[in-house]
Structure 1
Amino acid sequence: MKRTADPISYAREVANSAGSKGMPRPERERLILDAAVQEFGSQGYAHASVAAIARRAEISKPLVYGYFESKDGLYLACLHRGAAPLVDAVTEAQTGTGLDRALGTLEAIFRTLEPRRLDWAVLWDPTLPPGSAVGEAARAYRRKLSALGAEGTQEALASAGFADPADASLFARIWYGAVAATVTWWLEHPEEPAETTTQRCARILTSLRG
């Protein structure tokens, strides 16, 4: 293949050529994204590199650029692939009230993350540059999840006859922290299936209610 002057165009040519001669393009994209999630999720955006991602995927660095053009483009692809289904699953779980709604939310999180648990770390990456496109994209997904949590905690208080806005604000903050701690614990125990952790949460929440 004759190399063009523009490195991005050349990288695209390499990607298209490799996709047509070897692995199908969708499968190659999945391979790259899986490697990127491992890198971003374990190292953080600030410390991850396209070169390291290419090594994880066992492909060339230009090939990665041929598919995603930049580190930001690669991160955004990982983010959208992981966060959009998570928001959808949590939204669908917002039925019932109180304990049932809380458990439904946790079950939806675990079930959605089960195939790629580090999608959670990619979404909540603390190393994303403030004000950047990648940072704002992650914040948009976080805001959606936070809004769903606030709605649930407010409804729980309202059903118990409590309407103080400060109560709702504090309860929402407690719920956010509890969810983050629970998912973090689950990530630290990769041998534990989503269903088992959901059952643990059910026992713990039931004991608190009792």
Structure 2
Amino acid sequence: MATLPSRAGTKGVPRAAREQQLLVAATEEFGRHGYSATTVAAISARVGVTKPLLHHYFGSKQDLYLACLNRIGDQLLAAIRAAMAEHAVGAPSVALRVLNALFHALEGQREAWFVLYDASLPPDSEAARRAAHYRGAIDDLAATGTADLLRASGSSDPLDADALKHAWRGLCTALVRWWANHPDQSPEAMAQRCARLFAAGSVIVRS
């Protein structure tokens, strides 16, 4: 994964480029350490700007978090929706298409997944509400996909669908965490690995 150097220069950088640098650094800091343990000082130091400049661009720490969250949340939702809408002949299963889309959306920013699933967000804050909105939207898409799978298998129990939705969220989080710890693995390699794991899982279930 690409990591910003400790300083990226302090002069002659257009505002749009500087804001992008700050968003990349902040996303990684929030994803790695959580909201409560991340400081504006650490983010500004990574990019080589002053804290007042960061506040001038983004406002408060929560405003910066929200900018990171909205960016990655919109990217992930768009990627998942596109994967679920694909109906090409011979295409992989919906589950594998969604995982492949997630890996590609997160490449270069693997910790971004954990910005959405941050347990350290202040309760009843705008940050917590917005993160819950994105998690809920992703869960709704997962519920649609898993319900279709269960209907195809003959199950009509809504609790089966709910349990599978939660299991799917845990699986995605576990796979992204493993991937973040193996930076040499490309999105394509991860998608192929998941196909092998799914195939192995189906053999285990049948045995």
Structure 2 length normalisation: TM-score? 0.87
2:44–2:50 CA contact under 8 A, matched in 1: yes
Instruction: Quote the residue 2:24 is aligned against.
Output: 34
Select the structure of larger CA radius of gyration.
1
- 1:81-96 to structure 2, matched below 5 A, reads 81-95=71-85
Match of 1:110 in 2: 103
Which structure has greater helix proportion? 1
| CA drift at 1:38 | 2.1
**How many residues are aligned here?**
189
Provide Cα deviations, 1:24-60, integer angstroms capped at 9, x if missing partner: 1110100111121122122211011111111011111
Match of 1:195 in 2: 188
Deviation, structure 1 residue 207: 2.2
Note if contact 2:110-2:176 (Cα within 8 Å) is conserved in structure 1.
no
Question: Alignment RMSD, CA only?
Answer: 1.5
Question: 1:180 maps to which residue?
Answer: 173
Of 39, 42, 64, the match for 2:54: 64
- The one-character-per-residue Cα deviations of 1:69-122 (angstroms, maximum 9, x if unpaired) are 1101111111111111111100111145xx700000100100000021111121
Q: Distance in 2 between matches of 1:196 and 1:46?
A: 33
Cα deviations by residue, 1:130-160 (Å, 9 ceiling, x for unpaired): 1100111111000011111111111001012
Detail structure 1 runs of 4+ shifted over 6 Å in the superposition. none
Residue of structure 2 equivalent to 1:12: none
> Which of residues 134, 146, 149 is equivalent to 2:127?
134
Q: Which residue of 2 aligns with 1:154?
A: 147
In structure 1, the residue matched to 2:33 is: 43
Q: 1:23 aligns with which of 13, 33, 51?
A: 13
Using structure 1 for the length normalisation, give the TM-score: 0.85
For 1:127, the aligned partner's letter is: S
